[in-house]
Amino acid sequence: MPLPLPALQAALRRLHDPSRGRWTVWRRRGLFVAGGIGVGLAAVLMAMAADAAQAVFRHLLTLSPALALVLCPAGFALAAWLARTVFPNSQGSGIPQVIAARAITDAGARHALISLRVAFGKIVVMLLGLLCGASVGREGPTVQVGAAIMAAFGRLSPERMRGLLLAGGAAGVAAAFNTPLAGILFAIEELGRAYDRSGSGLVVATIVAAGLTSLAILGDYSYFGKTEARLPLEAGWIAVPLLGVVGGLAGGVFSRIVIAVARGLPGRAGAWIGRHAILFAALCGLGLALCGLASGGSAYGTGYDEARAILHGQEAPRWDFAPLKFLATVFSSISGIPGGLFAPSLAVGAGLGAEVALLLPQAPVGALVLVGMVAYLTGVLQAPITAFVIVTEMTQDHAMMIPLMLAALIADAVSKLVCRHGLYHALAELLVRQAAEAEKR
């Protein structure tokens, strides 16, 4: 028998108690803000630790550059062993793990990808890689660490877990580069692949909290320093489509190699790598060392210093920097050790821009370097909006927005011809498939 109208109204009032609703909203916002502060602190500490690790490696090479022939293979082998046995799911950039965690419904499988233990291992083993010269960045790992921190807070509000992971990953990008707008766009374009209107405010709140924490410690800064590069129509615009094609092609090839190795190469090569993963990592370390020796040391590490020097004209561009840095990043990425792709990709793109500048001496070098950065980063990520926005924010050079947009569009189209699937999402699909197979067993 249906309830009388007064009883029904009373039940609805109890269900939608305004005070209870306000408490739920403020608790949710508090979780996102507190998590954002944690992400900001983690990003700052990771940045400082990464710089220190690279400084130690450079100091060791002052004793003898040939030490890299021992340090790189040994360090890669140890890092790969730790990532496979002690801290599983800490391999690679960390962004595929966050994407996969948002797609997985099983709480246990999700926790295995973004737990605080995995985050701790990510930091430790990434620093070990940088201590041995790995051509990796810290920004991708910051995304996974940020998601893990937010997931830890999410235990108080499990129904918001997917939103918390999205916010943590976005805040990781924003705090790592001091690029809040790029963090938001990365969440929409890459992590979420959709616009979530209901959670957008909470994502922004998390990014603001992480950004303010970073600003309070490091101050306001531009990642690559402010530039005033311009690209006049009469000189150098031919470089925009040229760099778009070259950057998209190179980035697509890079992604295809990494995806192929992750899926397992066919035949004896793939079987051998599967059986001897630690030895394969050591061989990748040897390949990195050879690239470093051939480049005079510039192929090691994140590539931030080299890219900044090329951008601001503090260093004469070398024609071999881009290809050697490309190879060094390939070896680092397929070895199975933790590390991100943003900073090395920007360095490769800077090298491509500098090489084109050698062919077009009438064009401003700084402008072509920015175009090269966007083109190659787009080719790797297949996220054109994130690429041109993040480079614009890192340099505060808004006058280059139109050529950067055009380069990103061209590079994205060319990259998709070479590699049909985006790198991070292709790797995330492998993780989701592995989780499903483990659940069946």
Q: Where are the domains of the chain?
A: 27-218, 239-432
Mean pLDDT of 75-80: 96
What are 137-155's pLDDT values in tens digits?
Answer: 988 899 999 999 988 877 6
Cα 290 to Cα 61, 148, 161, 330, 332: the distances in Å are 13, 36, 44, 13, 13
Q: Residue 179: which region, alpha, beta or left (left: phi > 0; alpha: psi -120 to 50)?
A: beta
**Three-class SS of residue 92?**
strand
pLDDT for 30 beyond 80: no
Beta-ladder partners of 427: none
pLDDT per residue as tens digits for the range 415-437: 999 998 889 999 999 999 888 87
Ramachandran quadrant class, 106 (left: phi over 0; alpha: psi -120 to 50; beta: rest): beta
CATH of 239-432, one of 3.40.50.10680, 1.10.10.10, 1.10.3080.10, 3.30.365.10: 1.10.3080.10
Neighbours of 149 (CB within 10 A): 27
239-432 and 27-218 share a CATH fold: yes
- For 170-223, the pLDDT digits (tens) are 888 888 878 888 888 887 777 766 555 555 677 777 888 888 888 788 776 667
Mean pLDDT of the chain: 85
pLDDT in tens, 309-359: 988 888 777 788 999 999 999 999 999 999 999 999 999 999 999 999 888
> For residue 11, what pLDDT is reported?
46
DSSP calls for 318-366: PTTHHHHHHHHHHHHHHTT-B-BSHHHHHHHHHHHHHHHHHH-TTS-HH
Confidence of residue 8 (pLDDT cuts 50, 70, 90): very low
* pLDDT at 24 exceeding the cut of 80: no
Q: Which residue has the tokens 């950039």?
A: 93
Secondary-structure class of domain 27-218 per CATH: mainly alpha
> What average pLDDT does this structure show over 97-120?
90
Q: Are 441 and 115 in contact (CB under 8 A)?
A: no
Q: Quick check: 269 pLDDT over 60? A: yes
Q: How many CA atoms lie within 13 Å of 327's alpha carbon, on the beta-carbon side?
A: 18
Smallest CA-to-CA distance from 33 within 167, 193, 216, 179 is with 167
pLDDT beyond 70 at 23: no
Banded pLDDT at 4 (limits 50, 70, 90)? low
DSSP category for residue 398:
G
Work out the average pLDDT over 233-258. Answer: 90
Residue from 263, 354, 364, 255 nearest 307 by CA: 354
